[in-house]
Amino acid sequence: MSQHRYPARIIILDYLRGAAGGVLSLLALLLSAGILISTLIFGALTALFLVFTIRTLLRHRLRLDVSEEAIGLAGAPGRVIEWARLEGVRLRYFGTRRGRGEGWMTLTLKSGSRRLTLDSTIEDFPAIAARAAAAVRANGLDADAVTAANFTALGLALDGAGSTSAGLAP
């Protein structure tokens, strides 16, 4: 079994982004007191940065356990997906620039009512994606064309994928 976490440099940068955005929007909120539209805009921005920072805290604490039998969050029995029961997979790419020079991927796994989503900044994402691709092949799942193309971009073939959404709603 292997354990995976989000790297400290990614988490620290996210904490800094959340704190800087939160402080600046809170400062703007305080300076615009009495102007309704500014109060609404900067209040919403402050709340958004607070949510982002809380999400970063949760990612900081997250530990992902990956074994030959299952994948799941450490210490959360309800957040474990057995590879043999995998029903759906989706791999999406989000670019920050034209072309595929910079960006990240998100991998979503589904089994029954359980869904697990992680992004490519987690440690050893290619190994996790390779294990997911093996489960797709072993379970005879189909994947949508975008998912199949993204696995191919990682050097992982899904063998005949591309005809359905593999159990995940758009």
Measured in whole angstroms, the distance separating CA 1 from the mean position of its chain's CA atoms is 21
Phi, psi of 160, rounded to the nearest 5 degrees: 85, 5
Tell which wins on pLDDT, 143 or 21.
Answer: 21
Q: In a 3-state reduction of DSSP, which class is residue 18?
A: helix
pLDDT for 33 equals: 80
pLDDT for 99 equals: 62
Map out the domains of the chain as residue ranges. 2-61, 72-153
Written as six digits, the tokens of 36 are 């309704």
Among residues 50, 4, 44, 54, the alpha carbon closest in space to that of 23 is found at 50
Sign of CA dihedral 82, 159, 126, 107: negative
pLDDT tens, residue by residue, 73-117: 886 666 889 999 999 999 999 887 766 567 889 999 999 888 999
pLDDT for 76 equals: 67
Phi, psi of 65, rounded to the nearest 5 degrees: -100, 130
Q: Is the pLDDT of residue 170 over 70?
A: no
pLDDT for 64 equals: 92
